[in-house]
Amino acid sequence: MKRIAVFCGSNHGARPAYTAAARAVGELFAREGITTVYGGGSVGLMGELADAALASGGEVIGVIPRPLWDREVGHHGLTDLRIVESMHERKTLISALSDAFIALPGGLGTFEEIFEVWTWAQLGMHQKPLGFLNVDEYFSSLATFLDHANGEGFIRTEQRNVAIFESDPATMLQRFASYAPPAVRKWIDDSRT
Ligand code: AMP
């Protein structure tokens, strides 16, 4: 895998473990020669991730909408910075650039982004793996809820199983490498909504 997108909080969250995990992912990607693709900001876990990857000699591509440049304090030190006009463009470009997607702890923006790429997989728009890095059990109750939604007949089992829940980033990469996407009818048109 050449490039992996990371969606994560624009805040640091309540536990030092979240910052440590964001930095560990950036360092791991740099070591493995994987380019980090992310939202382009320098605040919260987003900034920690980018700074750690760059400090370890890694490449980082940031994709930030112009209207968010001030609010998310656009990062000036990235290998490649793409300024786009909308949130939709941001997600489309991040998705196109990346071979896989990881959510680290975060809030509504993080949820929205990882769920959208998951729905794109369900629609057959891509066959790339995606996962939730379960730092300090942050996503455990979400995994339980998704199992509930599966049991209640709203998420098919093969789709529920697309998302990998894993606490160790290196193991997540191994699971990405052996990922076998479910058979889904391919999206007929490549445009994203
Ligand atoms: P949060 O997890 O709420 O701290 O947000 C993390 C990142 O998600 C921030 O860069 C937000 O700008 C971004 N974000 C929030 N909503 C969207 C959206 N609809 N499309 C793309 N990115 C978003």
CATH assignment at residue 99: 3.40.50.450
Please state the pTM of the whole predicted model: 0.95
Q: Which of 85, 96, 165 is nearest to 125 (CA)?
A: 96
Predicted pLDDT of residue 188: 72
* 141 C-alpha to ligand 1 centroid (Å): 21
* 9 C-alpha to ligand 1 centroid (Å): 8
Specify the residue with its C-alpha closest to ligand 1, atom 23.
109
187, amino acid identity: W
Q: Which two tokens stand for residue 43?
A: 């605040």
pLDDT reading at 102 higher than 60: yes
Answer with the residue of higher pLDDT: 51 or 182: 51
Please identify, by atom number, the ligand 1 atom nearest to the C-alpha of residue 110.
2
Q: Rounded mean pLDDT of 158-164? A: 97
pLDDT tens-digit map of 113-153: 999 999 999 999 999 999 999 999 999 999 999 999 999 99
Predicted pLDDT of residue 71: 85
Q: Which two tokens stand for residue 138?
A: 């942050």
Number of domains in the chain: 1
Residue 163 makes CB contacts below 8 A (sequence gap 6+) with: 118, 130, 131, 132, 146
pLDDT reading at 34 higher than 70: yes
**Helix residue spans in the chain (DSSP H):** 16-32, 44-55, 87-97, 108-122, 140-151, 157-160, 169-177
CA angle 33, 37, 40 (to 5 degrees): 130
Domain enclosing residue 106, as ranges: 3-191
